[in-house]
Amino acid sequence: MFPRLVIDLSKIRRNTEKLLSILSEKNIDLVGVTKLFMGNPKLAEAYKKAGVGILADSRFENLRRIKEAGIEGPFMMIRIPPLSHIPKMMDLVDYFLVSEPEVCFKLDESVDRPVKLIYMVDVGDLREGVMYDKAVDEILNVRKNLKKAAVVGVGTNVGCFGGVLPTKDNLKFLIDVAKEIEAEVVSVGGTVYLLALENGILPSEINQFRIGEAVLLGTDVTGNRDIPYLEQETVILEAEVIEVKWKPSKPIGPTGLDSMGRKPEFEDKGERLRAILAVGEQDINPLGLKPLDEGAEVVHASSDHLIVDITEVERPIKVGDIMRFRTNYSATLRAVTSPYVEKVYIE
């Protein structure tokens, strides 16, 4: 059935092995993030076969799915745990990312086995974490008041909210905090940190990378690039053509907002051959699709329809044909969570 998402686990495994090889030379552990595929056990198994130690997700439901499939941890929760969720996590999660003293103390009183806390430091992206200039005092105060849980290190994240890139300056903010608290683990999150490694500015104190996108898609959306030493066609969207017609390239008459509340802009290219596909905004982010048919161009989408200009495509495309697309992080995320898109895992 279509639309469907085809996920190539062999390519993902090769990407994982490649990154493990690169990071191991720098004494950096790779934490395999499973959230893009909702903690699918097949992905977790591919990570483990490649040699990943810790599996991480932002939803405890996903980690439980992995554990119930018989796949061993340790497991890391990479979203700050809501207080109301903590009781459900204590038999499951081994590492927590934290940024609030109240959360740390709740974890400490709830724990009946060793758990490790990585205190998040905000170095400028302005998502989670205590600001770097206030971090040492807060972390040391929390640490001295814990009885069972242990703050074993510090972590940070860039790129995901503010689009901030890693630099010598913001990396130094993290390392300064790590030294002050004598951190055992110095953890960074976001594929974009591979740029710092490639550019030779990654401090030697960093010993853990939390990565999903690079392994799963071979891309770095924050750095706006395909990663040259990784494979990209790991996830392919396949969708069925339901209409093929020549039409003007610019809407006729006065225009307002579209069904998503946007004001679309269209270049007048005259009459163009357009295909409509049975997939839409409810299933994907159209801006994140790259047609595999050379010459095809995604024009726009509504909730249920994707419009593609196929005027320059060499092969004849007719109703009932299947068109294939690479998907970026955003498009993949939406497709995976859509119940209307079939997911097919292949080796």
Percent of the chain residues topping a pLDDT of 90: 90
Tell which CATH classification among 1.20.1050.10, 3.40.710.10, 1.20.1630.10, 3.20.20.10 matches the domain 9-226.
3.20.20.10
Which residue ranges make up each domain of the chain?
9-226, 235-346
pLDDT confidence bin for 190, thresholds 50/70/90? confident
3-state secondary structure of 18: helix
- Write out the catalytic residue numbers: 35
| Token pair in block for residue 255 | 């225009």
Strands (E), 128-286: 130-131, 150-157, 185-189, 208-211, 219-220, 225-226, 235-248, 271-277
| Tens digit of each residue's pLDDT (9 = 90 or more) over 91-150 | 999 999 999 999 999 999 999 888 999 999 999 999 999 999 999 999 999 999 999 999
State how far Cα 164 lies from the chain centre.
16
3-state secondary structure of 94: coil
Question: Is pLDDT above 80 for 152?
Answer: yes
Question: Is pLDDT above 80 for 183?
Answer: yes
Quote the pLDDT of residue 262. 78
Quote the pLDDT of residue 174. 98
Handedness of CA 83, 79, 159, 25 (dihedral sign): positive
Question: Is pLDDT above 80 for 12?
Answer: yes
Question: Is pLDDT above 90 for 252?
Answer: no
- CB of 305 closer than 8 Å to CB of 277: yes
Quote the pLDDT of residue 97. 98
- If one counts every other C-beta atom within 10 angstroms of the C-beta of residue 148, the result is 13
DSSP 8-state symbol, 83:
G
3-state secondary structure of 220: strand
| Tens digit of each residue's pLDDT (9 = 90 or more) over 46-74 | 999 999 999 999 999 999 999 999 999 99
Handedness of CA 149, 152, 156, 160 (dihedral sign): negative
| Tens digit of each residue's pLDDT (9 = 90 or more) over 29-46 | 999 999 999 999 999 999
- CB of 66 closer than 8 Å to CB of 76: no
| Tens digit of each residue's pLDDT (9 = 90 or more) over 256-311 | 887 778 788 888 899 999 999 999 999 999 999 999 999 999 999 999 999 999 99
Prediction pTM value? 0.94
Instruction: Give CA torsion, residues 208, 210, 213, 219, to 10 deg.
Output: -30
Q: What is the mean pLDDT of the chain?
A: 96
- HSE, CB side, 13 Å, CA atoms: give it for residue 296: 24
Letter string b/e over residues 292-330, b meaning 16 or more CB atoms within 10 A of that residue's CB: ebeebebbbbeebbbbbbbeebeeebeeebebbbbbbbe
Q: Residue 299 is inside which H or E element, if any? A: strand 297-301
Q: How far apart are CA 323 and CA 284, in angstroms?
A: 14
Handedness of CA 278, 280, 284, 287 (dihedral sign): positive
- CB of 318 closer than 8 Å to CB of 310: no
- CB of 3 closer than 8 Å to CB of 343: no
CA distance between the termini of the chain? 19
Quote the pLDDT of residue 261. 83
Pairing between strand 150-157 and 116-122?
A: parallel
pLDDT confidence bin for 170, thresholds 50/70/90? very high
Question: Is pLDDT above 80 for 78?
Answer: yes
Strands (E), 14-80: 29-33, 55-57, 75-77
What is the pLDDT averaged over residues 13-27?
97
| Token pair in block for residue 23 | 């990071």
Which CATH code fits 235-346? 2.40.37.10
Q: How far apart are CA 12 and CA 217, in angstroms?
A: 8
Q: Residue 306 is inside which H or E element, if any? A: strand 306-309
What lies within 8 Å, CB to CB, of 17 at 6+ separation is 50, 51
Question: Is pLDDT above 90 for 7?
Answer: yes
Q: How far apart are CA 277 and CA 244, in angstroms?
A: 9
What lies within 8 Å, CB to CB, of 87 at 6+ separation is 110
